[in-house]
Amino acid sequence: MIKAEHVSFEYFRRDENGNVSDMVEAVKDLSLEVKQGEFIGILGCNGSGKSTFAKMLNTLLDPTEGEIRIEGMSTRDESNTWNIRKNTGMVFQNPDNQIIGTIVEEDVAFGPENLGVPTDEIWSRVADALETVGMTAYREQSPNRLSGGQKQRVAIAGVLAMQPKCIIFDESTAMLDPKGRQEVLRAAHMLNREKGITILFITHNMEEVVEADRIVVMNLGKLVAEGTPQEIFSHPEQMQEYGLELPRITELAVRLKKNGIPINGTILDEDTLVSEIENVAERLSGGHAERAAYMGQKTQAEHAAYIEQKAQAEYTGDTEREDPAEVMRSGLILDHVSYRYNPGTIYEYPALRDVSLSFAKGEFVAIIGHTGSGKSTLIQQFNGLLEPDSGHIYFEGKDVFEKGYNRTHLREKVGLVFQYPEYQLFAETVLEDVSFGPKNLKLPLLEVQQRAFQAIEAVGLSDAVYDSSPFELSGGQKRRVAIAGVLAMRPDILVLDEPVAGLDPVGRKELLQMLQQLNQKGMTIVLVSHNMEDVAEYADRVIVMNQGTVDFDGKTAEVFQREEYLQELGLDIPVVTHVMKRIQEEGYQVNAGEYRMQRAVEELAAYLSGQV
């Protein structure tokens, strides 16, 4: 189906005067063969050349060296272009930027219209394609009103209507929430299984390729590894070297192994891990029936009491919530806040309903909830960007919408980082961009510069970037510059909307650790996130938003005890908690409330080796 032989792609980077400054080899000597009906996962960190390769398959780019053949047709021969594009459809990253039609069905028809398919057949193809991806109910709607996952499904339908043999997903899940990711992934597998369509699935997310037939890993333009998921994920060091990670469940198994628990093979799914752990328990102690005897002096009842106590400690916690008077004086308080969009029109809808919240100094809070639950509207209340229809917002004990309140002070102290903040960069140099905030505060020049320097340092960028243009930096670096721009105002509270969206594994880890450090230095961090794993690892308190209301507000341990409740809201519990719960259900007395990986590993290791 696809045959790439020694393919390279080079391009020249030019300086301001149009002279070639350096040559970039995006893809180097890559050979790959894909058979009809395969599901291939392509992994690689940002800048590894995977998107460039995908575009060459679709003749959107021409290889500078080597040859690609699609169904025997060379991509070099221009007369093949349309046939190749018809056969290898592409679904891109940004759902908004690939939908051409203003109505769903008209967009799906775009491909067949271009191919000159007769009107009657266009209708039947559109109907079939929408039916296949389950979007028939939305056929007459505007794409602007759909969720990200739905938009991507429309894009898939648009490709399907051209009746391709192969579909390339070029990071199509990167900008979606977990539900949207699931929708797209499920559609890809379904097309592969039921229609025999070859799938090339490019992603940063390891979980999405564990069910692939084959995984291809790219690094610095080269194909560095190729094999079954089993093979690929059995080399954790190698993955790290390529800027990737392991699926969570595999990571858990690897860490258990490191802690002396003899687990066999590379684990890719939960069932296998749970049964492996059971096996180990059987082998070590002869099964849980004799567990109490094995544990020696401790009785089963005593152990149960110990677990109970441990779980209790998690709930109430040693870090008591700060006393209300102190929060009143220095914190941020939302008091019965409601907000409606477009009041008085048919587009009116209530985004926030009677929300009351408070944030004390030094907290690490996560706000979760599915798309459209009001998270983004909520955080815009925090620094007075949106004025509530009713209710009050207090900061440092003062009502921020009272006449004469200095809102600049509020925005200085409550920093807000929007989603994809790199899109708001504008200045000629990094330093200038980061200085924008402090300059608006009318601080003396020296102070402005000092703050900018410190902020750039705080986000982990070297001083070499001061004078470079922010537009020349890599995606991850741009994001850090944008965050530095907010940090330079020295906020007490830093609010971030999905700050790791679209970053590769290394980028997201570094960014989250940076937030953790800021938090340890006393800054309050409020993190809006879709990723339960991130929430579990970093947040102490979780706020669940649902239909514009605060549905739950409590400790991280508490929220992740409510699996059914979270699933009802389209959310989930972390993989670690899932595993712990299942082991407990099998009759082993471990703390099922554990949600941080390291602690779960320690707990399991101690339990299994009988040291509890």
Partner 1 sequence: MIRDITIGQYYPVESVIHRLDPRTKLAISFLYIISLFLANNKYMYLLALVALVVYIGFSKVPLKFMLKGLKGIAIFILFSVVLNMFFTKGDPFLDFAFIHISWQGFRTACYTTVRIIFLVLGAAVITYTTTPTKLTDGLERAFSWLKRFRVPVHEIAMMVSIALRFIPILVEELDKIMKAQQARCADFENGSIWNRLKSLFPVILPMFVSAIRRANDLALAMEARCYRGGDGRTKMKPLKYTVCDRVTYILLLVYLAGMISLRILL
Q: Which of 19, 79, 119, 611 binds partner 1 (CB under 8 A)?
A: 119
Q: What angle do CA 225, 231, 234 make, to 5 degrees?
A: 100
CA distance from start to end of the chain? 56
CA atoms of 459 and 517, how far apart (whole Å) = 10
Q: Which of 94, 182, 259, 454 binds partner 1 (CB under 8 A)?
A: 94
CA atoms of 146 and 131, how far apart (whole Å) = 16
Only one of the segments 30-38, 54-62, 356-364, 501-509 lies at the binding site for partner 1 (rule: CB under 8 A); that segment is: 54-62
Q: Does 396 help bind partner 1 (rule: CB under 8 A)?
A: no
Q: Which amino acid is at 332?
A: L
Q: Does 427 help bind partner 1 (rule: CB under 8 A)?
A: yes
Phi then psi for residue 561, to 5 deg, are -80, -15
Q: Does 445 help bind partner 1 (rule: CB under 8 A)?
A: no
Q: What is the 3-state secondary structure (H, E, C) of 311-324?
A: HHHHHHCCCCCCCH
CA atoms of 435 and 433, how far apart (whole Å) = 5
CB nearer to partner 1: give 282 or 428: 428
Q: Which of 345, 404, 462, 464 binds partner 1 (CB under 8 A)?
A: 345
Only one of the segments 8-16, 34-42, 404-412, 589-597 lies at the binding site for partner 1 (rule: CB under 8 A); that segment is: 404-412
Q: Which of 66, 178, 388, 485 binds partner 1 (CB under 8 A)?
A: 485
CA atoms of 259 and 411, how far apart (whole Å) = 47
Q: Does 123 help bind partner 1 (rule: CB under 8 A)?
A: yes
Candidates 499, 489, 509, 227; CA nearest to 366 is 499
Q: Which of 13, 14, 36, 100 binds partner 1 (CB under 8 A)?
A: 100
Q: Does 99 help bind partner 1 (rule: CB under 8 A)?
A: yes
Q: Which of 131, 269, 471, 513 binds partner 1 (CB under 8 A)?
A: 471
The CA distances from residue 305 to 298, 308, 553, in Å, are 11, 5, 27
CB nearer to partner 1: give 123 or 466: 123
Beta partners for residue 34, in sequence order: 2
CA atoms of 436 and 485, how far apart (whole Å) = 7
Nearest-approach distance from CB 151 to partner 1, in angstroms: 11
Q: Coil, strand, or helix at residue 188?
A: helix
Phi then psi for residue 382, to 5 deg, are -55, -40
Residue 330: burial class (beta carbons within 10 Å; 0-12, 13-18, 19+): middle
Q: Does 53 help bind partner 1 (rule: CB under 8 A)?
A: no
Q: Is the dihedral of CA 102, 106, 109, 110 positive or negative?
A: negative
Only one of the segments 72-80, 186-194, 290-298, 424-432 lies at the binding site for partner 1 (rule: CB under 8 A); that segment is: 424-432
- In contact, 498 and 529? CB cutoff 8 Å: yes
Nearest-approach distance from CB 108 to partner 1, in angstroms: 9
Phi then psi for residue 126, to 5 deg, are -65, -45
CB nearer to partner 1: give 315 or 426: 426
Nearest-approach distance from CB 83 to partner 1, in angstroms: 9
Q: Which of 104, 122, 545, 590 binds partner 1 (CB under 8 A)?
A: 122
Q: Does 138 help bind partner 1 (rule: CB under 8 A)?
A: no
Nearest-approach distance from CB 109 to partner 1, in angstroms: 4
Contact positions vs partner 1 (CB under 8 A): 55, 58, 60, 82, 85-86, 89-90, 92, 94, 96-103, 105-106, 109-119, 122-123, 126, 142, 144, 158-159, 162, 342, 345-346, 380, 383, 385, 408, 411-412, 415-416, 418, 421, 423-427, 436-437, 440-441, 471, 485-486, 489
